[in-house]
Amino acid sequence: MPYRIDSVTPGNNASIELGQITVLVGPNNCGKSQTLKDIRQYTSTGRREGLVVLESLRVTLPSEAELKAEVQIRPHQAADHIQIIGVKDDLQSHTNFGPNKHWFSHVYPPEPDAASQELQILRSLGTCLIGYLGAEARFKLTESSPAFNPRSETPSNALQSLYASDLSVMTEFRRAFRDAFEMDIGLDWAAMTRFYLRVANDFGQLPDSRIELDLLMANAEELQSQGDGFRSFAGIAMALLTYPSRVILLDEPEAFLHPAQARVLGRWVATQAARRPGQVVVATHSADFLAGMVSAGVDATILRLNRINGVTKFHRIPKAATTGLIESPLLSSQPVLDSLFHRGVVICEGDPDRAVYQTVAHRFNDNYRGEDFLFIHSNGKDAARFPAKLLRDSGTPVCVVADFDVISSESTLDGIVEGLTGKGLDERTKQLRTVVADAVEAGSQGQLLEGLVANVKAWLERNDVDLRGARRSLVACARGGSNKWDQAKKSGFSALPTQDQGSAQELIGRLSATGLFVVPCGELESWLENGASKGSRWNQRALQALHDNECPVPLKAFVEQILSFLAPRRT
């Protein structure tokens, strides 16, 4: 077995097992890229000093034969020494090591001291066991390279390794590039002294003859003159194909790619990772790249990172949660997979609610960056429990915003809270809900008439042009006005008798502690008085007012309370 990262242990956290392919997701500045750097640091030195996110790593060392296969061993000018030359983790420069000629026997004795062996191998040749691909490294991999003599030398970079590889490697390289860009790519070695990558619409079969290759490549464009997306993709593909036994660390591979290309790359990387002996560890901030990986159907370990009070926490996302976020019909029209790259998610009842609360978060919260939070809707309060559970299982901070009438149904309330926390309502919360519900149900005829009048006013604003439709909507409004919860939904606390408002406040406080935020003034439309009662007219006016920087203080405070729950400020 080649070198392998078996597990990592973050500071103040349990050990996390890594798979054949491991994907790190999470919001900005949570530690994804630094985790890759820590793996690189430890593999290159064998020491924990200097690690930032990780406290320790558990690794499997390569066998003696596997380690020798990763380097070139030559005679040394001193007879009792050997010269070991290897390609470093940037896959383009050399390390040169001149130990005693018995060095391999010393580090691979019959009964080695594990800690000493690990330190000696990693600090001497660990850099030859991994490949670290940030954006700049990927670009450099695709630059033209001096040729080499395969009779007396081994490849010293990815481009030389591509030349030395068998035909199947070049075939797969070209296929991947064509799938992403509908362009062909080929290795031009006709100059003899340098290697170049060139692109064209279609090279056809690449000839073995230097003269024929020279003619074919004469008018092809050098990859180096192409866009960043071409070069980055090619660098990643070359690294995975030409160094199959190395652990490859990919930092934001989706950079410079359009969404469709990121999905192609994600699917290809996942497929290759399952075939090659070496692991792949990816840090990504792209839902498109992740969706591509998942679509490949391989067994990937997906870890969400959350940074809380300066400490990075790792959460393994179950496969069912990732699949559910992608395939749920309820969420199919929304960018819900983006939730894995936000600090938290707010689930609203409907899209109008989402639009208003999101606008307030983005424009009126000085203590939080509202753009760091994703707002989605569940097409009704009854369905909110489903995305809440999926997001909780994915390790994403999540909450639900619901109108006051959510209190009317214990089963709906219980389902949402269970989705958010994994547990249903406790007995005290159930008791408080019953008190509030009984108070609403005991409402007077006068309150019902007020609700009926309000509903009819809303009907008048509809301006129906179809008589049959107008009658139907009027009947619906009249029936709605006869529901005792209609007034409570419009007015919230103020619809309750004074003696019951304390119970309602305690109930809402207990629910907010679970992540369910009940609108205290009733419903979305209760926050803003703009001359319209409901519907698209109210929503348009409300959004215009918010964009004109007119936001009621209570609404701003309500949204800030939500963001504070999702991302508590450091104390």
Is residue 111's pLDDT more than 70? yes
Is residue 570's pLDDT more than 60? no
- Tell me how far apart the alpha carbons of residues 441 and 405 are, in angstroms, rounded to a whole number: 12
The CA distances from residue 201 to 178, 219, 254, in Å, are: 9, 11, 23
Neighbours of 80 (CB within 10 A): 8
pLDDT, residue 290, reads 96
Q: What is the dihedral of CA 131, 137, 141, 147, to 10 degrees?
A: -90
Q: Look up residue 161 and give its two tokens.
A: 């390794």
- Tell me how far apart the alpha carbons of residues 554 and 552 are, in angstroms, rounded to a whole number: 6
Name the burial class of residue 569, with classes exposed (0-12), middle (13-18) and buried (19+) by CB atoms within 10 angstroms of its CB.
exposed
Residue position matching structure tokens 């207990």? 510
| Contact residues for 12 (Cβ-Cβ < 8 A; gap 6+) | 311
pLDDT band at 498 (very low <50, low <70, confident <90, very high): confident
- Comparing 65-74, 99-108, 325-334, the range with the smallest average pLDDT is 325-334
pLDDT, residue 205, reads 94
Is residue 537's pLDDT more than 90? no
pLDDT band at 462 (very low <50, low <70, confident <90, very high): low
Neighbours of 29 (CB within 10 A): 13
pLDDT, residue 66, reads 95
Is residue 398's pLDDT more than 80? yes
Range 321-330 average pLDDT: 85
pLDDT, residue 365, reads 82
Residue position matching structure tokens 């840090």? 283
Q: What is the dihedral of CA 406, 408, 414, 415, to 10 degrees?
A: -60
pLDDT, residue 571, reads 42
pTM (2 d.p.): 0.88
Range 203-213 average pLDDT: 94
- Tell me how far apart the alpha carbons of residues 517 and 507 are, in angstroms, rounded to a whole number: 11
pLDDT, residue 334, reads 87
Is residue 466's pLDDT more than 90? no
- Answer whether 185's CB lies under 8 Å from 174's CB: yes
Is residue 46's pLDDT more than 70? yes
Q: Decide which of 335 and 277 is more confident.
A: 277
Is residue 283's pLDDT more than 70? yes
For 319, the enclosing helix (H) or strand (E) is helix 319-327
Main-chain phi, psi angles of 27, to 5 degrees: -70, 175
What region, left, alpha or beta, does residue 230 occupy, with left being phi > 0 and alpha being psi -120 to 50 degrees? alpha
Exposure string of 348-379, with b = 16+ CB inside 10 Å and e = fewer, is bbeebbbbbbbbbbbebbeebebebbbbbbbe
Q: Decide which of 62 and 567 is more confident.
A: 62
Average pLDDT, rounded, for the chain: 91
In 189-327, at which residue ranges do the beta strands (DSSP E only) sit? 194-200, 221-222, 247-251, 280-283, 301-308, 311-316
Using alpha carbons only, what angle is made at residue 91 by residues 88 and 94, rounded to the nearest 5 degrees? 40
Q: What percent of the chain has pLDDT over 90?
A: 78
Is residue 445's pLDDT more than 60? no
Chain-centroid distance, C-alpha 437:
41
- Answer whether 348's CB lies under 8 Å from 375's CB: yes
Residues, the chain, total? 571
The CA distances from residue 446 to 172, 417, 442, 450, 486, in Å, are: 76, 34, 12, 6, 13
Q: Decide which of 491 and 475 is more confident.
A: 491
Using alpha carbons only, what angle is made at residue 101 by residues 97 and 105, rounded to the nearest 5 degrees? 105
